[in-house]
Structure 1
Amino acid sequence: MVNQSSPVDFLLLGFSEYPGLERTLFIIVFTSYLLTLMGNTLIILLSVLDPRLHSPMYFFLSNLSFLDLCFTTTFVPQMLVNLWDPKKTISFLGCSVQLFIFMSLGTTECILLTVMAFDRYVAVCQPLHYATVIHPRLCWQLVAVAWVMGLVQSIVQTPPTLRLPFCPHRKIDDFLCEVPSLIRLSCGDTTFNEIQLAVSSVILVVVPLSLILVSYCAIARAVLRINSAKGRKKTFGTCSSHLMVVTIFYSSVIAVYLQPKNRYAQKRGKFFGLFYAVGTPSLNPLIYTLRNKEVKRAFRRLLGKDEDPRES
């Protein structure tokens, strides 16, 4: 029997098969969420308040931080409630809103990381033309494209997913409402949805990642042509934080969305999904603040402290 009346509550099973782990996960997720809020808010404030950070690189970084704040707030509060409450329910409307926003912001981040790679490519490979190529108007246009593409992707894929004939048990084997888990919940034909998911994964994950890799291959060649070791280290240092963020983000995304279709992979993918959704937004500000001298200097200036001469 198939449930044709969609507007009912769903059960987000999350990690209920590991009841002894849920309290520990609650603490980890809550701590990560606090780090996400504090770290990304700090980066946004520094980028806005410190004139020395009014550059394209930090404009894109502040957008990434704002994106991560919205991304985690979409589902973490609900996830914390479900980790603590044995009921673990979410309304159809709540699930729909969560699915729409989560998909939109996730897509936007894929595009935005590609834009940031392009920014680093121009800075390293075409430094004399950087100011004329990456001008403020282009920065706003690139960010707008990222957000619009995320919105379009969500508009295209959310309705077909929500129109699926869901099974009567309404149990979503995940900690949030996302496309793969809702497809698995369907008791009807999901061929169209699976094809749509596969195509969007190639367009929005494989293609952007390929462009990022091409950019960094060009950056690596440019860095190797620099004669001094100090110059190579300094030049690559401007890209290392972004490269780390890209590696962590895309490794998690690939593990979640491009995994084989078997039960073991799905269970493993749930933990990768947790890291992708909760871990990466909290790690991003740490990576950029701990590895970026300009951000650390800006933070000291915000606190009214003198700059450390060793970092000059």
Structure 2
Amino acid sequence: MNNSEEYRTEPNQAYAVVFGSVIVLGLPLNAVSLWILLRRHSLKSSNAIFMVNLAISDLLLVISLPMKVYFYTTGTWPLSSKACNCITMLFRNNIRSSSIFITLISVDRLLAVVYPLRSRHLRTASNAWKSVALVWLFVLMVNIPEGLELAKNLNNSSESTCFEFRGQHQQQQQQQQPGLALSYFQLVLVVTLLTVNLVSTALVSCTLHRRLNDSAKVNNKVNVMLIFAMNLVMFTICFLPVSIGLLTIKIDKITPLVCLASVNCCLDPLLYYFSLDAFWKKKEDVDLAREQQTMDNLFS
């Protein structure tokens, strides 16, 4: 793809509106959430650490969307193939990193609810930061073969635009390795993480059902189940369809699923409100509340 050459396709205002709406909602929601998490909550909590990185992942997705809006509004891609590659990888990285961080939040809540005392040595800030580092390292390692494959497809396609590819040559390439292997890998990853979330939801639900008579904490139980419900919604609506679509739908027909997947960055901030006790309070108040909850667990 020549850097000075401008490629054209048919404008699609519906896609532009969807991506524009995601920017309008996702940018302030995630920016404010990240500010609150960093300013009012101590990063000594594993749950808060996972949520900070989830917010960062969503913001990386949001900053890639303005060029998508421009592309689907004008039908042109004026930038280079490298810019196209970077923006595409930011979107794909969000699916992987967000799905992993959401799963880590689910597992963290599972340990806190089902094994509150026995899991305290596992749910430490040190272990959380190690997990976060491994997640980002994993995402970067996947970027290497996928980025090379995408760059090859962009350079070899004689008729292309950044986010949509046309022509027989491109369709044949999409069925070759390593592109096909990476698509299968993503589907397996999402299905595996969805299974972990389903199991976590079932175990937490059973545990809370056995404590149903504890009326003092009913509201907290509702919040806990809302966390798991939202996680399952994001997997089944945002992550799973586009992962299946990469294997079953032609690349130039997958944009509606891409739009659907991008909505996850607007839903993630809801996790922060339901996951962290007293989200708007200062971290000192939260620490006192957490200590009181620990004492309640010890004597319950």
* Equivalent-residue separation in structure 1 for 2:8 and 2:226 (angstroms): 37
Structure-2 change in CA distance of 1:51 and 1:92 (3 Å): closer
* TM-aligned CA deviation for residue 122 of structure 1: 0.4
Per-residue CA deviation, residues 49-93 of structure 1 (Å, 9 max, x unaligned), is 2247852222211211111001221x2121122233343444211
* Equivalent-residue separation in structure 1 for 2:167 and 2:50 (angstroms): 34
How does 1:84-233 map onto structure 2 within 5 Å?
84-164=73-153, 166-171=156-161, 174=164, 186=170, 188-189=172-173, 190-228=175-213, 230=215, 231=217
How does 1:1-312 map onto structure 2 within 5 Å?
6-7=1-2, 11=7, 13=9, 16=11, 18=12, 22=13, 26-51=16-41, 55-73=45-63, 75-164=64-153, 166-171=156-161, 174=164, 186=170, 188-189=172-173, 190-228=175-213, 230=215, 231=217, 234-259=220-245, 261-262=248-249, 267=253, 269-277=254-262, 279-286=263-270, 288-289=272-273, 294-297=278-281
CA contact (8 A) 2:205 2:225 kept: no
* TM-aligned CA deviation for residue 106 of structure 1: 2.7
Structure-2 change in CA distance of 1:275 and 1:94 (3 Å): same
* Equivalent-residue separation in structure 2 for 1:146 and 1:243 (angstroms): 23
Structure-2 change in CA distance of 1:182 and 1:151 (3 Å): farther
CA contact (8 A) 2:89 2:147 kept: yes
Structure-2 change in CA distance of 1:132 and 1:235 (3 Å): farther
Identity %: 16
- Secondary structure of 1:191 counterpart: coil
TM-score, length-scaled by structure 2 = 0.78
Letter in 1 for 2:259: L
Per-residue CA deviation, residues 200-232 of structure 1 (Å, 9 max, x unaligned), is 124421111112222222112212221416345
Letter in 1 for 2:98: E
TM-score, length-scaled by structure 1 = 0.75
Per-residue CA deviation, residues 9-54 of structure 1 (Å, 9 max, x unaligned), is 57474x72x4xxx1x6545533431322211121112112224785
Where in structure 1 do 4 or more consecutive aligned residues deviate above 6 Å? 182-185
* Equivalent-residue separation in structure 1 for 2:179 and 2:151 (angstroms): 14
* TM-aligned CA deviation for residue 119 of structure 1: 0.4
* Equivalent-residue separation in structure 2 for 1:87 and 1:191 (angstroms): 28
Structure-2 change in CA distance of 1:10 and 1:256 (3 Å): farther
* Equivalent-residue separation in structure 2 for 1:275 and 1:110 (angstroms): 14
CA contact (8 A) 2:226 2:274 kept: no
- Secondary structure of 2:157 counterpart: coil
* TM-aligned CA deviation for residue 196 of structure 1: 1.0
- Secondary structure of 1:129 counterpart: coil
Q: How many residues align?
A: 279
Structure-2 change in CA distance of 1:100 and 1:27 (3 Å): closer
* TM-aligned CA deviation for residue 127 of structure 1: 0.8
CA contact (8 A) 1:120 1:239 kept: no
CA contact (8 A) 1:82 1:88 kept: yes
* Equivalent-residue separation in structure 2 for 1:270 and 1:106 (angstroms): 15
Structure-2 change in CA distance of 1:227 and 1:7 (3 Å): same
Gaps (5+ residues) in structure 2?
286-300
Structure-2 change in CA distance of 1:266 and 1:186 (3 Å): closer
CA contact (8 A) 2:224 2:275 kept: no
* Equivalent-residue separation in structure 1 for 2:213 and 2:135 (angstroms): 37
